[in-house]
Amino acid sequence: MKGIKKSIAFVMAMALTLSVFTGCGAKNSDSESASTETNKSVDGKKTFTFGDTTFNAENEEANIDPHDTYCGWACIRYGIGETLFKFNDNMELEPWVAESYENVDELTWKVVLKDGVTFSNGKACDAAAVKACIEDLVAVHERAAGDLAIDSIEADGNTLTIKTQTPKPTLINYLCDPYGCIIDVESGNADGIVVGTGPFVCTELVTSDHLNLVKNENYWNGDVKIDEATVLTISDGDTLALALQNGDIDAAYGMAYANYPLFENDQYTFTGTPTSRAFYCQMNYNSPIIKDDAVRKALALGIDKEGFVNTLLNGYGYIGVGAFPDNFAFGGDVVKTESYDPEAAKSLLEEAGWVDSDGDGIREKDGKTLTIRWISYPSRQELPLLAESAQATLKDIGFDVQLNVTADHGTIVAEKDTWDVYAAAFVTCGIGDPMYFFTTHCLDDSSKNRGGYHNDNIQALAEEMNNTFDSAERGDIAVKMQQQILDDNAFIFCSFLRMSMIAKSNVTGLVAHPSDYYEFTADLDIQ
C-alpha cells in the first residue's frame, strides 16, 4: 500500500514539475505572440523582430552612439546611421551620404556630399553638420582620433575639406568604419540614442536587452518598407534558436552551428557571405614560456584548423593562413605558415629541451611544466569550440592547456602576466585596407597589442605603408608584414567567419555583407 502511494506521489510530482515548465512556456509565447500579432494587425503595420547575440555591453555595443567604443556597429547594422561612403561586395568604396572624394595632396582631401540627404529629424545633412559630427568623433573617440589624425575640417555648402596631420592614405576608408556614421550631434546622445540619416529611427534602447526602431519617414534614399522593427539581444544560442522556431523573432544573427540543421528547410532562408572576421590566437610575449620560439611554433603546429572549420563549424567558415581571407588580393595563400602537424611539433619541443620526464604526458623544462593559460570568451560561439579542440590536440603534443573562457576576458588580458594565449575574434580588414589590422594589433603603440609583440621590421614596414598611397603597393607591404608575424608565430589565424543570418522565408531584403556592417536597409521587407 505504502509502495503504491509512493509511486503515485512520484508520478504526481513529476507531472507537477512538467506542468510548471509547460506553464511557463505557454505563458511567455502566448503573451509575446499576442503582442506581435496585434502589432501586425493595427493599421496593417509591418513589424520586424530581429534576434542578435552580439548586441550587448560585453561586446562594447552598449548603445547606438557611434562615438562610443564599438557602438557604431549597432548604429550602422540596424540602419540608424550611414557613413560617407560604403563598401561594395568587393570591399571597394561606393558613394553613400557623400557623392565623391578627391585626394588633393598628401594631406588634403575634398569630399562632396550628396544633395538632399537629411537626418531623420528632417534637418539637412550638409557639410557643416558632417564637420560637427567628425569633430565630435575625434574629440571623444580615441581610436578614431588616432586613425584619422585630422588637423582641420572646412565646411562650405556641400563640400568638406579635410586636412590631416600626417599622410593618411586610408582616410576615406577609415571614415567608413562604423564609428564614421554621420549623426546629428546637435540632437545629442541622451541614453545612447542618436539621430542619423538611415532608414530607421530609434525610439527606445535598453542596453543588452532590446532596441525599438520605427521607420524614418524622412528617409532620403527611397521608401522604407518596414514600419516598426525591434532588435532583441538574445545572448544564449538555444534561446535564439527557439525564438526563431516559435516565431518570436523573424530573423537571427549568431545562431549556434549545432542548430543550423533545424533551419535548413523551406521555411527559412540563409544569407551568408565570407567576411574578414578572423578567429585568431595572440601570444603573450610577457610570459616566459611563450617567449620561447619553439613553444610558439609548436602551438602553431598543434592547432587543427581544418577539423575546427569543417567539423566544429559545420563548414561555415574558411581556414585561416594569414590575417586576411582569400577574397583579398593580399589575403589567403599569398603567405605561408605552419599547418597542423603534431609529430613535427613534438620533435621541435623535444629539440628545444621540453621533455616529459615524469611520464604524466606533459612536457617540462628546467622544472617548469609546459602549461598554457588560454583565455577566450563565450559570446562568439566559435571561441569555446576552438579552445576545447585546441586543448585536446595540444595535450597530445605535451601541452597542459588551462582554459578560461569567460565574459571577463578583458580584465584578464589587461594584466601582463595572467595569461599566455588569448583567442579572440576580430574583423581584420573592416575598412577594406590591410593596415587596419596591423595598426590595431602589431605595433608598439597598438591598443590591442596585448601581448607586447615587437618586431623592428614590422615597425619599419608600417612606416612605409603609412606613406604609400597606391593600393597595390600597400597590398605588397601587407603580405610582407603578415609573413613576418607568421614567421614570428606571434599570431595564429585559425579561421575566418562565414557570416550567416537565418530568416523566416517571408523576410526579404536581409542580405549578409562581407564587411559585416550593413543589415537593416530600406529594402528590408516582410511578406
Binding site for another protein (CB under 8 A): 6, 237-238, 241, 256, 258-259, 261-262, 304, 307, 310-312, 385, 387-389, 391-393, 395, 403, 405
Smallest gap from residue 382 Cβ to another protein (A):
12
Smallest gap from residue 402 Cβ to another protein (A):
8
Q: Distance between CA atoms of 446 and 443, rounded to whole angstroms?
A: 5
Residues 6+ apart with CB under 8 A from 223: 522
Give how far Cα 484 sits from Cα of 116, 302, 362, 438, 465, Å. Answer: 48, 20, 30, 11, 15
* Nearer Cβ to another protein (264/343): 264
Smallest gap from residue 395 Cβ to another protein (A):
8
CB 427 within 8 A of CB 470: no
Smallest gap from residue 237 Cβ to another protein (A):
5
Residue keyed to cell 606613406: 467
**Greatest CA span in the chain, whole angstroms?**
97
* Nearer Cβ to another protein (26/392): 392
* Nearer Cβ to another protein (153/313): 313
Smallest gap from residue 379 Cβ to another protein (A):
14
Smallest gap from residue 226 Cβ to another protein (A):
29
Q: Distance between CA atoms of 314 and 91, rounded to whole angstroms?
A: 26
CB 91 within 8 A of CB 429: yes
* Nearer Cβ to another protein (269/310): 310
Q: Distance between CA atoms of 297 and 293, rounded to whole angstroms?
A: 6
How many helices (H) and strands (E) are present in the chain, helices listed first?
A: 16, 21
* Nearer Cβ to another protein (173/389): 389
Which cell numbers hold the place of 472? 597595390
Beta strand pairing call for 47-52 and 228-233: parallel
* Nearer Cβ to another protein (333/343): 343
Could you tell me the end-to-end alpha-carbon distance of the chain, in angstroms, rounded to an integer?
A: 62
* Nearer Cβ to another protein (406/505): 406
Q: Distance between CA atoms of 8 and 374, rounded to whole angstroms?
A: 51
Chain mean position to CA 250: 22
Smallest gap from residue 389 Cβ to another protein (A):
6
* Nearer Cβ to another protein (65/304): 304
H or E element in which residue 290 lies: helix 288-291
Smallest gap from residue 417 Cβ to another protein (A):
17
CA angle 382, 49, 213 (to 5 degrees): 110
